[in-house]
Amino acid sequence: MKRIDVETRLNESRNLILASMAALDEEQLRRPITPSEHDTTNYWTALDHFSHLALIEQNFVAMIRRHVAGHENPVGLLSGPEGTARSREQIMAIVHAMTDEYQRDHHDDTLSVAVSLTSRARSETLALLSELSDDELDEPLEGAPWADGTIGGVLGTNADHAALHWRWVTQTGLLD
């Protein structure tokens, strides 16, 4: 994916999710709407979905930085520390537990704090994007199941991720 395309998608997505979140009132931001995929007794709010974007974006940046540094398993999900392959179910259990922990840690944050968290994550993504060559953007990120598996594709996935979570928020009838 070309640099201009990645950056355009990231900026357009950021503007859209910020406008969408700003349009919600406090009750809409904090209403429990979707059960956690780790613990179905724990419900996520629209604000939780928004804050979660920061965690994933920071994780993608860390994975890409490990790749650039020559790490053998930069994504770190397909196999455990001992090298044993993980099943899709094991991978998803790890991901869901991690995201639930982050959600619980940030559940009481204000919209302003969530904007700050996601802004910091996006700034790290844009800084990384500015550091990478065009050839590096085209490199496959070993173990990455997102987009086309290239570094540029993974960075651009952050835009799709925001749209996915907004779709989940709106499909619940929150805005009815």
Does the structure show a pLDDT above 90 at 16?
yes
pLDDT at residue 25, rounded to an integer: 96
Tell whether 176 is covered by a domain: no
Question: Which band of pLDDT confidence, cut at 50, 70 and 90, is reported for residue 162?
Answer: very high
Question: Which band of pLDDT confidence, cut at 50, 70 and 90, is reported for residue 85?
Answer: confident
Which residues fall within 8 angstroms of residue 18, CB to CB, at 6 or more apart? 115
pLDDT at residue 176, rounded to an integer: 66
Tell whether 161 is covered by a domain: yes
* pTM of the model as a whole: 0.93
Give the structural domain span for 155: 3-171
Tell whether 70 is covered by a domain: yes
Tell whether 51 is covered by a domain: yes
Distance in angstroms (rounded) separating the CA atoms of residues 14 and 86: 33
CATH at residue 142 = 1.20.120.450
Q: List, for residues 141-159, the tens digit of each pLDDT value.
A: 998 989 999 999 999 999 9
Tell whether 126 is covered by a domain: yes
When divided into structural domains, the chain yields a total of 1
